[in-house]
Amino acid sequence: MAPTTRSQLSSARWLRSWWYHATFYAQTWRASVVASILFPFMFLASLGVGVGHLVGAHTGLVEGQTYLHFIAPSLLATTTMQLGESESLWPVLASVKWIRTYHAAAATPLEPEDILVGKLAWLATRAFFTAIAYTLIIACFGAIQSWWCLTLPFIGTLITVAFSAPLVAYASAAESDASFATLYRFAFVPMFLFSATFYPVSAYPGALRPVVQLFPLYHGVALVRAAAYGTGSLGPQLAHIAVLVAMAASGVLWGRRTLRRRLTD
């Protein structure tokens, strides 16, 4: 039998971390189904159908789409962003300070990097299946117009990891949750409302359009719309992907330092 290499051991360790999260979720998944599936469905029905009827009666199409079809893909982006943020702040702080499950894990052969990768891999797994479910939902509303929609689960996964990686790093270094509400109020809520989610960038005053395009969620919204419609040129889409990948990579590098410092103090 060939000897086990260090890289194989490392791979096995982060998979054990992933399995811990999967096992825990198997006991609690019912509570998250409402937030991950039912709430977006209700948003789509109320805004896309209800408000969309009013928008269509007064202004007609939005960027060549009905209002329902315009907002349906963007709600996939906001759902996967919210998954990343909700599972990366209080749960991580609890694991490193209040219930200290990460300290217990670090007392095993698991390294802090294994704990980090296992956490992000589990969130990517959840995001992928959540995005599949939501893709089916928006397809039922007739908002899918291209075979590029098959990339939507992968885009949703990228959005989740892009947000969760830096937030896990931030939460693992925090001493309290006092700043988390501020993040929600002044970062996540404005991004949810003003990232071209509910109306196009062209609806903003000219001076504000570059500001909107700086929001990280804007890049996710642009990607999912392009995939759902089968529109957009390659260059801008690669730029959107690059922004999200850079967020994820920087979050992983930051998280490796903060989590190791927190778990080896």
Q: Do the domain assignments include residue 39?
A: yes
Q: Do the domain assignments include residue 119?
A: yes
pLDDT for 63 equals: 77
Bridge partners of residue 65, in order along the sequence: 62
The whole-model pTM stands at 0.91
Q: In this structure, what DSSP letter does residue 50 have? A: I
Q: Do the domain assignments include residue 23?
A: no
The CA–CA distances, whole Å, from 58 to 52, 55, 66 equal 10, 5, 12
Q: Do the domain assignments include residue 209?
A: yes
Q: Do the domain assignments include residue 118?
A: yes
Q: Work out the pLDDT band at 165, boundaries 50, 70, 90.
A: very high
Report the pLDDT averaged over residues 113-124: 96
Domain that holds residue 172: 13-18+32-263
Q: Do the domain assignments include residue 144?
A: yes
d(CA 15, CA 10): 9
Q: Do the domain assignments include residue 182?
A: yes
Please, what is the angle between helix 152-173 and helix 216-229, to 10°?
A: 170
Instruction: Report whether pLDDT(11) > 70.
Output: no
pLDDT tens digits, one per residue of 179-236: 999 999 999 999 999 999 988 898 888 888 999 999 999 999 999 999 999 988 899 9
Instruction: Name, of 37-46, 51-60, 113-122, 131-140, the range with top average pLDDT.
Output: 113-122
pLDDT for 5 equals: 47
Q: Do the domain assignments include residue 1?
A: no
Instruction: Report whether pLDDT(150) > 70.
Output: yes
The CA–CA distances, whole Å, from 162 to 6, 84, 105, 124 equal 28, 8, 24, 10
Instruction: Report whether pLDDT(71) > 80.
Output: yes
Short-list 84, 98, 93, 81, CA closest to 259: 93
CB-based burial of residue 226 (10 Å sphere; 0-12 exposed, 13-18 middle, 19+ buried)?
Answer: buried
Domain count, the chain: 1
Report the pLDDT averaged over residues 101-118: 93
pLDDT tens digits, one per residue of 23-66: 999 888 887 777 677 777 787 777 766 676 666 555 666 777 88
